[in-house]
Chains A and B, each alone.
Chain A
Amino acid sequence: MRTASIAEWILRRVTSKERAAAMVGDLVELQEKKGLLRFWLSISGVAISLFWRRPIAFVAAFYAWAWVSGWFQMAIHGMNALHRPPQLWMPVFNALGLIGSALWAFSLFSAIRYGLQERSAQLSLAYAGLITAVIYLWWLPAVLVVCIVGALVLATASIIKSKLRKESLIFLASVFIYYASVYPTMFLVSVYQNYLHPGPWSGQDMRAHPLLGWLYFVTIALSLWVATWAWSRMRGWLMRSQSLESSSEML
């Protein structure tokens, strides 16, 4: 009985309490026929198959965020950028860069965790693609017009269709949560940086204080983790409400 309780505790880390209990109940029922070793192999198999997507999706999202935000920064502020946006429009492009990099991260997270057929991943990817096109090709009037019209069509569809509205809210809320958590913590780390050495930092300063680099890394990773966790939770609520709706159309 203790074995089953331990197994249930393990499965509760990766799924809901009721589902974990039902799964362990099924395997306990089979344990008499198949033995303890088969029981634990089955528990491990269930735990891995329920869990593997989340860490991989998170690591991929983190790297996507780091890579994309670096490229966006170079396109917007880079010395060798093909066409730098006018100074007046810089705040808009900075905001687009921030939102776009988060959307690429969330698209990848959602696609790996739930599959590319996931509506929120598709919507997020569509917006991310439009933002990327604007950042890289804003100086081509045709591209700018197509992107603005595309964004307006997506936004209108998201407002009119209730299902799309809920899916859009998931990624908008996740982007908000990400920046609402990353900015205050980054501010605290920058205060610490200023305390260590006021003014601009050189590479030598960074090497002298390796902890600071790690603090920035952990801050971004934790904020992204919180946002992806929120994304998963909101999607879970949405799916449960849709499941209830379809249950009302039972056989």
Chain B
Amino acid sequence: MKPPATLGEFEQVVLLAILRLDKDAYGVTIRSEIAKCTGRDPAPGALYTTLDRMEEKGIVRSWLGEATPQRGGRAKRYFALTKAGLVAVVSAQRAYQSLLNGLDLLGGAHAYCFNC
């Protein structure tokens, strides 16, 4: 069986944002979802090159949607994960999860407190 593709940290952030947005994942919404969840506003250049690279690697696929007057009659380019993309992001998150196990950083009596 082919091993899952290895993902960088920003690639994982983008993939999780696409998953959260479900059918409404395009440039603007992906950026705002990342900003809402992580507090950082990714540069458009970084986001588009990452999306292009992941599409070339077969991790995401894209298709053109409707054109709106708000966008000057230009179509939206929607993104969704492929099966390989889902396998890769699940595998990466499992690796993080197994590293976190037993550390009590996110919950429990010894959870890390940012304000303490």
Which residues on A are within 8 Å of B, measured CB to CB? 1, 4, 8, 15, 18-19, 21-30, 42, 45-50, 239, 242-243, 245-247, 249-251
Contact = CB atoms under 8 A, between A and B. Distances in A.
A29 B67 CA distance: 11
Nearest to B71: A25
Contacts of B74: 4, 8, 21-22, 24-25, 28
B2 to A, nearest CB: 11
B83 to A, nearest CB: 4
Q: List the 4 shortest-distance A-B pairs measured between CB atoms, nearest first.
A: A25-B74, A49-B45, A246-B58, A22-B77
Interface of B: 26-28, 43-46, 48-49, 52, 55-56, 58, 61, 64, 67, 70-72, 74-77, 80-84, 86
Contacts, number: 94
A214 B1 CA distance: 53
7 contacts: A4-B74, A23-B44, A25-B75, A27-B44, A45-B43, A246-B84, A250-B80
Contacts of A22: 26-27, 64, 74-77
A191 to B, nearest CB: 43
Given A4-B72, A243-B58, A249-B83, 20 more contacts: A19-B52, A22-B76, A23-B27, A25-B67, A25-B74, A26-B26, A28-B74, A29-B28, A29-B70, A29-B71, A42-B43, A49-B43, A49-B49, A50-B52, A246-B61, A250-B61, A250-B80, A251-B80, A251-B82, A251-B86
